[in-house]
Amino acid sequence: MSAAASPAMLVSEVGPRDGLQSIQRTMPTADKLRWITALHAAGVREIEVGSFVPPALLPQMADTAEVVAHALTLPGLIVAALAPNLRGAQAAFAAGVHKLTIPVSVTEAHSLANVRKTHEQVFTDLAAISALKREQYPQVELEAGLSVAFGCTLAGPVSDDDTLHIAERAAAAGVDVVGLSDTSGYAEPRQVRRLFTRLASELGNRAGGAHFHNTRGQGLANVLAAIEAGVTTFDASRGGIGGCPYAPGASGNIVTEDLVFLLEAMGFSTGIDVERLIAARRVVQEALAGEPLYGMVAEAGLPKGFTYATQQALTAA
């Protein structure tokens, strides 16, 4: 594969956060560190390593500051975390994260259920977090991650205007970038193309990446639609951890190996070695024995004669 200095597509691994917080068991800290090291060794250049939330709510994330400290030792890695409020953001900034995502629900119903706050309260918090960042941590990239941007299990369908309205409010609150999340697997490709096209046209260089779940199998079709709308950053989870153990294939996030295969096969360089990524699966299997892992490429392997994308191939495409 090419040793691309600047990958054409940024694959952001969210397994240590979104994957691990979705399962009951807690992965021991030492295993998290081994896992993150293995992901980095496979070429992953951004990892959301945890969430700064009260341990009483999510004990799986209690060691996030320690995990961040380890991740910061890995050369070239963008260390990302999530925080649901100002207190969490303070802890994340203090821990030294490079990127911080604040979840902002597009529907108030989801906001109340997820963070127990109205939109007004969320945006007040977001403005305070943005101010703190500007004053003391200007080097951190602050992202608003718009939950249920394509549909909501509580409120049902979500209009494009509703999502764009929340995106604009988040940008106005001072974040650097606004990403769109399909939290519950509602998105379809035409909607994805429309929304990311409008996000880019209305937010310019504050338009962020896509966070898709594969709840209804449509995750990679939505990735293709987002690529067509100019998106270059995609969240994904190693092994698709977080899927329901009683639902074969019903993964949470889209699966990193499958995403990387799709992007590389299409000619977009990711800097990631699929086979080393598959090998890193072993760390998770050992640390969470019996936990079902998802994904097709890990089972099927790469096609015979497969070649990774190069920057040249991308330019030619």
Per CB under 8 A, residues contacting a second copy are: 151-157, 184-186, 188-190, 214-218, 220-221, 223-225, 240, 244, 246-251, 255, 258, 261-262, 265-267, 292-297, 299-300, 303-305, 317
State in angstroms the smallest separation of the CB of 113 from a second copy.
14
Token couple for 301: 């392997």
Q: What is d(CA 31, CA 287) in angstroms, rounded to the nearest whole number? A: 6
Query: Whose structure tokens read 């799709």?
Result: 262
CB closer to a second copy out of 65 and 266? 266
CB closer to a second copy out of 147 and 218? 218
CB closer to a second copy out of 164 and 226? 226
State in angstroms the smallest separation of the CB of 63 from a second copy.
29
Sign of CA dihedral 250, 188, 258, 42: negative
Sign of CA dihedral 20, 24, 27, 28: positive
Helix axes 219-228, 189-203, angle to 10 degrees: 40
**3 state DSSP class of 4:** coil
Cβ pair 253, 21 in contact under 8 A: no
State in angstroms the smallest separation of the CB of 256 from a second copy.
11
State in angstroms the smallest separation of the CB of 284 from a second copy.
14
State in angstroms the smallest separation of the CB of 302 from a second copy.
8
Characterize the bridge pairing of strands 141-147 and 177-182. Answer: parallel
What is the C-alpha R_g of the chain? 18
Element (H, E) at 277: helix 274-287
Name the nearest CA neighbour of 182 among 252, 87, 245. 252
Query: Whose structure tokens read 């691990």?
Result: 20
State in angstroms the smallest separation of the CB of 114 from a second copy.
16
Between the alpha carbon of residue 176 and those of residues 125, 190, 192, 260, the distances in Å are: 15, 26, 21, 26
Name the nearest CA neighbour of 127 among 89, 98, 156, 157. 89
Report the largest interatomic distance among the alpha carbons of the chain, rounded to a whole angstrom.
54
Task: Name the DSSP class of 45.
Answer: -
State in angstroms the smallest separation of the CB of 303 from a second copy.
5
Instruction: Categorise residue 78: left if φ over 0, alpha if ψ from -120 to 50, beta otherwise.
Output: beta
CB closer to a second copy out of 124 and 153? 153
CB closer to a second copy out of 23 and 224? 224
Q: Is 244 a catalytic residue?
A: yes
Q: Which of 57, 113, 244, 300 is catalytic?
A: 244
Hey, which residues are catalytic here? 244
